[in-house]
Amino acid sequence: MNSLIVISDPADPLLAMLDELPAETDIAVGNTPEAFENIAPRAEAILNWDLSGRLLRQVFGMCPRVRWVHTRTAGLDKLLFPALIGSPAQLTNASGVFSHSLGEFALAAILYFAKDFRRMIRSQQAGAWAPFDVEMIAGRTLGIVGYGDIGCAVAAAARAMGMCVLAIKRHAPASLGGDALAHEVYGPERLLETIERSDYVVVAAPLTPETRGMIGQREFAAMKPGAVIVNVGRGPVIDEAAMLRALTEKRIKGAALDVFEREPLPTGHPFYKLENVLLSPHCADNTTDWEASAMRFFLAQFDRFRKGEPLLNVVDKKLGY
């Protein structure tokens, strides 16, 4: 019998999908530490279904036998803590579940600026017939910072549109060149060069000590005047103050942002008023079935776990992704 803790509001309707687990599975669901007092000494797995992650640290400390922790999110910056990092327990996430929707958002953002949809909407609302020139994205260069599952989904969408794709990843191939999706793949030491060459820059990197603030004043100064930056990774990967200056002074063309340093974005933030910014309230991957997809992935993972098969999306806890 496998014992499973599910950190969640017990009223969440998606929990009904847990009925698909084997009948002998020992499950406890709750959103307080007290809900797990009886099962904690024998619990082998924890599903962190709560988006905030606020209880995971405390509940993990109650479970001396836990061997696996799974979170329904892809981001891990709010979930890692010393006891979990130092433990032998495997940590897995939902990386890949949301990648295609984020790839679509990135492509939509690129087209938004290339075709100047804001100008079209403004003219339509004013009842004005005002033709203007638009840009092609075919032949343009896209730089992707963070070439994991999300970065690959962005690359696939851009490559299909005829864009030249450059990618930055922590562990780049030893030999220069590309792969099936990116024309060229480089290590972080080529970040500035990649940004200088790019017409569009998509940031899809996780938040770690290494990536915090990696797109800052120097990087914005290196961008083309017509460049657009798109962030679908984590807000603090970009120095928001440096980006705000570049946008306000129109040193770059624009930004499309799904993530921010502070969320929700505070009322009155300058981003709300900037014509060259497209804002998404961290919902670019909130498809109508995203939660069900995340639960289906967990159910498949649990089946692997109980059979002793290798888990998918095993996180390097020290690296943070």
As annotated, the active-site residues are: 234, 263, 282
- Beta-carbon contacts of 82 under 8 Å, excluding residues fewer than 6 positions away, are none
| Contact between residue 165 and residue 185 where contact means Cβ atoms under 8 Å apart | no
3-state DSSP call for residue 203? strand
Cα 68 to Cα 79: distance, rounded to the nearest angstrom? 14
Answer for the pair 102, 153: CB distance below 8 angstroms, yes or no: yes
Nearest alpha carbon to residue 49 among 83, 15, 88: 15
**Residue 256: closest CA among 220, 225, 229, 227:** 229
3-state secondary structure of 273: helix
Per-residue tokens: 203 = 């940031």
Q: Say which DSSP state 112 is in.
A: H
Exposure string over 86-110, b if 16+ CB within 10 A, otherwise e: ebebbbbbbbbbbbbbbbbbbbbbb
- Give the closest residue to 156 by CA, choosing from 101, 235, 224: 101
Would you tell me how many other CB atoms lie within 10 Å of the CB of residue 222?
A: 16
* Residue 276, both tokens: 């060259």
